[in-house]
Amino acid sequence: MIEISSAMQQEAIKSLLDGKEVKGVTFTFDKKQGIKLLFKIDTSNSEEAAKIAKDAIKQEAWGKVLYFQAIGK
């Protein structure tokens, strides 16, 4: 599982990752806890999955200026 914390663009993050495969990792939205979005992943390496998600967000025009944190759980 990975956790992405962001006060803004939460719907955009969900749309970008939910049900999608990025660099061999499939992300499935699980739940929202405050500003945290929790995603299930299909790999055991949650730290690598968090890095992949972070890179995918930063590639978006809105992601380049977004303050957020992505960590593996």
Query: How far does Cα 46 stand from its chain's mean position?
Result: 11
Query: Each residue of 29-49: pLDDT tens digit?
Result: 999 999 999 999 999 999 999
Q: What is the pTM of this model?
A: 0.93
Q: What is the mean pLDDT of each run of 10 residues along the chain (73 residues)?
A: 98 98 96 98 96 98 96 94
- How high is the pLDDT of residue 22? 94
Sequence-separated (6 or more) residues with CB below 8 Å from residue 68: 4, 5, 6, 9, 13, 54, 57
- How high is the pLDDT of residue 55? 97
